[in-house]
Amino acid sequence: AQSVTQLGSHVSVSEGALVLLRCNYSSSVPPYLFWYVQYPNQGLQLLLKYTSAATLVKGINGFEAEFKKSETSFHLTKPSAHMSDAAEYFCAVSYPNSGYSTLTFGKGTMLLVSP
Amino acid sequence: ETGVTQTPRHLVMGMTNKKSLKCEQHLGHNAMYWYKQSAKKPLELMFVYNFKEQTENNSVPSRFSPECPNSSHLFLHLHTLQPEDSALYLCASSQVGQAGELFFGEGSRLTVL
C-alpha cells in the first residue's frame, strides 16, 4: 500500500539548534510530496512542496526539504530553530495513479523547542 | 473575510442530536474537502467536491452527510453520532487538480456525549 511514514511522534530541540523531521514514502513511482504545519488551535498550512522539479525545495519560515529518490525520503530541515517553530508537522503525498487528486498524510511530528 | 472559515469552532452534541458544520472559502477555489483529525491518527479524508459535485466518499458512515450548494460553501450534516466521532473536523479548499496545495480552515472541534 502506498503510504507515508514520519519517524518520531515528538522531536525536541533547543532554540538555535538544527531541526530535522523525517519523512519516508513507499512507492515505486515518485510522488508529489508536501510538508504542512499546524500551530495550536489552527488548521494546517502548506510549508513547501516537491512536484518533480528541483529536488531541494525551499519553503516558508526558513524551512527546506530535499527529495531523495534512492532513499524514498523527503526530510524537513531548518538550520536554526526558533521558539515560534513549535508546532505539529505533517508530511503528505499524492500519487500519479490517482491523478494527484487526493492527499495522504503521515501521522505528524510534534516539534518542541526549548529556550 | 479571507481564506477558509469554519463555524462553529466548537460543538458539543448528544448522540441523538442533529447539527451541521459550515465551511466557506473566499479564495475562488473550485474543490472543497472535509477531513477528520483524531488524536494519534493520520488525517482522514472524508469527502471531496469538485465543481460542486462529490468525487470522493472515503467510506464515511451515513450519519455524516455532506452538502455543497456552490463552490464556495460546504456543509457537513451530523445525525445520530457516536462518541468515537469526537474529533477536529477540518475543511479545506484548492483548485481542481492541485489537491496537494490545500488551504485549511481552523477546524470545528466536535464532542459527542
Contact criterion met (CB below 8 Å) for A111 and A88: yes
Give the closest of B41, B97, B100 to A34, CB-based. B100
Residue-level pLDDT at B97: 74
Q: Which of A35, A102, A104 to mutate to test the interface with B (most CBs of B within 10 A)?
A: A102
Contact criterion met (CB below 8 Å) for B30 and B96: yes
Residue-level pLDDT at B95: 87
A2 close contact with B: CB closer than 8 A:
no
For the segment A44-80, what is each residue's pLDDT rounded down to a tens digit?
999 999 987 788 999 999 999 999 999 999 999 999 9
Distance (Å, rounded) from C-alpha B60 to C-alpha B48? 12
Give the closest of B42, B100, B103 to A49, CB-based. B100
Count of other CB atoms within 10 angstroms of residue B55? 13
pLDDT exceeds cutoff 60 at B26: yes
Distance (Å, rounded) from C-alpha A3 to C-alpha A22? 14
Residue-level pLDDT at B33: 93
Distance (Å, rounded) from C-alpha A75 to C-alpha A68? 9
Give the closest of A45, A101, A106 to B42, CB-based. A106
pLDDT exceeds cutoff 60 at A13: yes
Average pLDDT, chain A: 91
Q: Least CA distance to B33: which residue of chain A?
A: A102
Band the pLDDT of B1: cuts 50, 70, 90. low
Q: State what percent of residues in chain B have pLDDT above 70.
A: 97
Across the interface, whether the CB atoms of B104 and A107 are under 8 A apart is answered no
For the ranges A50-59, B4-13, B72-81, which has the lowest average pLDDT?
Answer: A50-59
Residue-level pLDDT at A101: 65
Residue bearing cell 504545519: A37
Q: Which of B27, B33, B101 to mutate to test the interface with A (most CBs of A within 10 A)?
A: B101
Cell matching residue B85: 466521532
pLDDT exceeds cutoff 80 at B55: yes
B13 close contact with A: CB closer than 8 A:
no
Band the pLDDT of A21: cuts 50, 70, 90. very high
Average pLDDT, chain B: 92
Q: Least CA distance to B101: which residue of chain A?
A: A46
Give the closest of B42, B45, B103 to A107, CB-based. B42
DSSP character string of B21-64:
EEEEE-S--SEEEEEEE-TTS--EEEEEEETTEEEEE-S--TTE
pLDDT exceeds cutoff 70 at A107: yes
Burial of A18 (0-12, 13-18, 19+ CB in 10 A): exposed
**Largest separation between any pair of C-alpha atoms in chain B:** 38
Contacts of A104 in chain B (CB under 8 A): 42, 45
Check residue B72 and report its DSSP letter. Answer: T
Rounded to a whole number of angstroms, the distance from the CA of B112 to the nearest CA of chain A is 19
Residue-level pLDDT at A97: 65
pLDDT exceeds cutoff 70 at A100: no
Residue-level pLDDT at B52: 85
Residue-level pLDDT at B96: 81
Question: How large is the average pLDDT for residues B59-63?
Answer: 93
Across the interface, whether the CB atoms of B90 and A43 are under 8 A apart is answered yes
